[in-house]
């Protein structure tokens, strides 16, 4: 795994950033993307039904991205507004769910490579469910990887990393 450093993007106080290269295919079928990113995802999970809110881009090709992952530090409990403000201040936008899925496919042992027992990477590109906003991500632990669906308004623990790309 190559981790690229940048002096232009500043980590939040007490936090850290990683910049990781990955190829992203926004035209990949939703269910195929989930299956390869999160092979341990339950067949009963609501993630399978969210593809219509993240339609594949038919004319898209695989594009190389430098994905900026930000973590707000040990013991942090972070609100979405703080994460999104950090991204905006650094001229970044939230990465798509397929970008997070591409990271999971390419870096299957990312948590172990970073010396972590578990972690999640979250896309703050929201979808909706009965009038509420949800977000998608990937969870890694010793049992494998699964795609997760979480409430947008929740406070995030310190095992969460947020994915961004350049504007």
Q: Model confidence over 137-166: pLDDT tens digits?
A: 999 999 999 999 999 988 999 999 999 998
pLDDT at 60: 64
CA distances from 20 to 66, 82, 144, 155 (A): 5, 22, 20, 25
The stretches of 10-92 forming alpha helices (DSSP H) are 30-37, 80-89
> What integer best gives the mean pLDDT of the chain?
91
- CA dihedral sign of residues 95, 99, 101, 105: negative
Q: What is the pLDDT of residues 65-111, one digit of tens each?
A: 899 999 999 888 899 999 999 999 999 999 999 999 999 999 999 99
Q: What is the pTM of this model?
A: 0.91
Q: In whole angstroms, give the CA distance from residue 160 to residue 140.
A: 11
């Amino acid at each position: 795994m190559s981790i690229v450093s940048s002096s232009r993007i500043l980590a939040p106080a007490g936090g850290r950033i990683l910049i990781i290269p990955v190829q992203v295919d926004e035209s990949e079928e939703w269910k195929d993307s989930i299956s390869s990113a999160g092979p341990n995802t339950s067949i009963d999970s609501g993630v399978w039904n969210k593809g219509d809110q993240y339609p594949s881009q038919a004319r898209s090709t695989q594009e190389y991205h430098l994905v900026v992952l930000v973590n707000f530090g040990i013991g942090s409990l972070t609100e979405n507004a703080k994460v999104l403000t950090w991204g905006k201040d650094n001229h970044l936008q939230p990465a798509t769910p397929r970008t997070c899925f591409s990271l999971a496919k390419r870096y299957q042992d990312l948590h172990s490579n970073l010396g972590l027992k578990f972690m999640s990477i979250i896309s703050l590109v929201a979808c909706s469910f009965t009038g509420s906003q949800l977000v998608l991500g990937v969870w890694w632990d010793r049992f494998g990887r699964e795609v997760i669906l979480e409430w947008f308004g929740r406070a995030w623990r310190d095992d969460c990393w947020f994915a961004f790309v350049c504007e």
